[in-house]
Amino acid sequence: MTSLLEKAFEVASKLPTLEQNILARTLLDEIKSEKRWDELFAESEDILAQLAAEALREEDQGKTTELDPNNL
Angstrom distance (rounded) from CA 13 to CA 15: 6
> What's 72's DSSP letter?
-
Angstrom distance (rounded) from CA 20 to CA 61: 60
Residue 1 has pLDDT above 90, yes or no: yes
Question: Confidence class of residue 58 from pLDDT cuts 50, 70 and 90?
Answer: very high
Cβ(20)–Cβ(13) below 8 Å? yes
Angstrom distance (rounded) from CA 3 to CA 19: 22
Residue 47 has pLDDT above 90, yes or no: no
Angstrom distance (rounded) from CA 12 to CA 27: 12
Whether the full predicted model's pTM is greater than 0.75, yes or no, is no
Question: Confidence class of residue 10 from pLDDT cuts 50, 70 and 90?
Answer: very high
Whole-number pLDDT of residue 25: 98
Average pLDDT, the chain: 93
